[in-house]
Structure 1
Amino acid sequence: MEPAAQWGMQLAEVSIFGVRTSVTVLRHKHCSLRYVLMPVVHVGRPDYYERLAARLARCGLVVAEGDDSPSSTGFAFVTALRWSGQRRGGPLVHQDIDFAALGVPVVRPDAPNSANRRRDRLTWWDWADVVLLLPCLLVSMAVGGRNWLAARMLDISDLDEPRMRSAALTRIFVTRRDRALVATLIRLHDEHEGSAPRDIGVIYGGAHFPAVVRALAGDLRYRPERDAQWLTAIDF
């Protein structure tokens, strides 16, 4: 088996056909725990999120980004698409998976002290996120035209090092959250080692998964099952 650095495993991709993300299962030779990695884009077709939710419901535990509420990033994308008159990809919605309805426990590394309850509305903090994102998205769509998606860096592999516009933003929104997520996954491995077989679903924005794959494939020695499943988020 080649080291993780040699895999070049694709996690999400943009092509002339659309945007799709993978569902990849990592298995350990001596541990019955499996990680089901589900990088997600925050805007997509309704059936994309339905299929993600259906796969999560088959897991024994879910590790999810943020809290159980609509995605402010996805809402900003959908609003910008509507305001800019973009029609590429057909009818799209923002990410809004009802984790409370899955029927499985949910762990939230980003918000460990938040109540694990469903919120159907954006908070004032979410709205602030929308207000900050909208101008950038509108300019990107106006300048990029039909190619605006290519500029969103949605192509993600385990070899990537996702970065934001500044080092400070990268540290806050990528590095710190990567560390919290990876620490949670390592803890779950330690707690469940030698226990009955169990799938842990991991659903986060795609930019966080290079760090996840490197951590699980490094000292923990997890390896991917042969064939990943691909889900179409946006169909051109």
Structure 2
Amino acid sequence: MQITEVSVAGVRSAVVALGHPNKPLRFVLFPMIHFGLPAFYREVAQRLRQCHLVVAEGYDGPSSVGLAYAIALRMTRQRAVDRLVHQDIDFEAIGVPVLWPERLGLDGGHWRRLPLLGWLDVLLLVPSLVVSMLLGGRNWLLRRNLEVSDDTDVRLFLSFLQKPILNNRDEELLEALVKIYESRADEKIDVAVVYGAAHMPAVVQGLAQRFGYRPRRGGEWLTAIDF
């Protein structure tokens, strides 16, 4: 199953509903591209208002990963970069309860500025992204670096970042989703999962193996980047 798609037209992200054969609880996946068109983030925010609970990555503020990408894109003068912004969804304004599996302790509303922990992400990611983009040329975005399927074995460019940036966060996310299932599986609710697309293979595979969740037909595509 395709989660994100890259073509000459741009980058699209699939909104995927996972359903259980016997339980009413649904998980609705919003695979995030952490840098993209402002309209993409507005559309995601609008759809989140239709859900009953949101499970989101990081904290309520600007995406550190998105900022790292935005900096690297500008440094390497990538295609279409002038129209792109880094992810900054105001979850507090959506009006739906939000769960933050990473428990970064950044309570107190929407953060307008990046906190210290976010800057650490930026410092770790920007050098590796710049090298990757320089090797890929100005059409790096077209080389399917952002394309993810449910069976993708996601590997970061620098292997020492694999565990803290990807694997640990996958485990924290799955642990949170398991707890939601165990406590609310009999409720007819939609639980939105708003995480980077790289985390979604672990979610799809983990929920399928543990509880038998499968993608429902009728998934929709949202345009994240328009070339």
Same fold (TM over 0.5): yes
Give the equivalent residue in structure 2 for 1:230: 221
Q: Is 1:49 aligned with 2:41?
A: yes
Aligned counterpart, 1:218: 209
C-alpha change, 1:82 and 1:175, in structure 2 (3 Å) is: closer
Measured in 2, the distance between the counterparts of 1:30 and 1:113 equals 36
Matched to 2:193, the amino acid is V
Give the deviation of 1:147 after TM superposition.
1.9
Indicate the residue corresponding to 2:87 in structure 1: 95
1:108 pairs with 2:100? yes
Cα deviation, 1:83-138, whole Å, max 9, x if unaligned, reads 44334265111000000001011001112644252100012332233234333333
Is residue 2:192 matched to residue 1:198? Answer: no
Hey, what does 1:66 align to over in structure 2? 58
Q: State how far apart, in whole Å, the 2-side matches of 1:94 and 1:74 are.
A: 5
Question: TM (normalized to structure 2)?
Answer: 0.91
Runs (4 or more) in structure 1 with deviation over 4 Å come to none
Count, aligned residues: 227
Q: Percent identity?
A: 47
Pick from 19, 24, 36: which aligns with 1:27? 19
Question: In structure 2, how many angstroms separate the alpha carbons of the residues matched to 1:85 and 1:159?
Answer: 31
Q: Deviations over 1:45-103 (max 9, x none)?
A: 00000011111111000000000010122122223333443342651110000000010
Inter-CA distance 194–216: structure 2 relative to 1 (3 Å threshold): same
Given that 1:89 and 1:235 are in contact with CA atoms closer than 8 Å, whether structure 2 keeps it comes out as no
Match of 1:189 among 181, 188, 192: 181
1:121 counterpart = 2:136: no
RMSD across aligned C-alpha pairs, in angstroms? 1.9
Q: What SS is found at the alignment partner of 1:163? A: coil
Shift of 1:194: 1.9
Query: Following the alignment from structure 1 to structure 2, what is the Cα–Cα distance between the partners of residues 104 and 215?
Result: 25
TM-score with structure 1 setting the length: 0.88
Indicate the SS of the match to 1:37.
strand
CA-to-partner distance for each residue in 1:183-235, whole Å, 9 max, x for gaps?
1111111111223x100000101111111101111231112111211011111
User: In the aligned structure 2, how far is the partner of 1:99 from the partner of 1:225?
Assistant: 26
Instruction: Give unpaired runs (5+ residues) of structure 2.
Output: none
Q: Indicate how the Cα distance of structure 1 residues 139 and 165 shifts in structure 2: closer, same or farther if over 3 A, else same.
A: closer
- Residue 134 of structure 1 is aligned with which of 106, 123, 126? 126
Instruction: Return the offset for 1:16.
Output: 1.2
Contact 1:89–1:234 (CA under 8 A) maintained in structure 2? no
Within the alignment, does 1:86 sit opposite 2:90 as a pair? no
DSSP 3-state at the match of 1:85: coil
Which residue does the alignment assign to 1:4?
Answer: none
Please list the CA deviations of residues 152-204 of structure 1 after superposition, one character each: whole Å capped at 9, or x if unmatched: 72111111111224554212222211111111111111111223x10000010
In structure 1, the gaps of 5 or more residues are 1-8
What one-letter code is carried by the residue in structure 2 that aligns with 1:208?
H
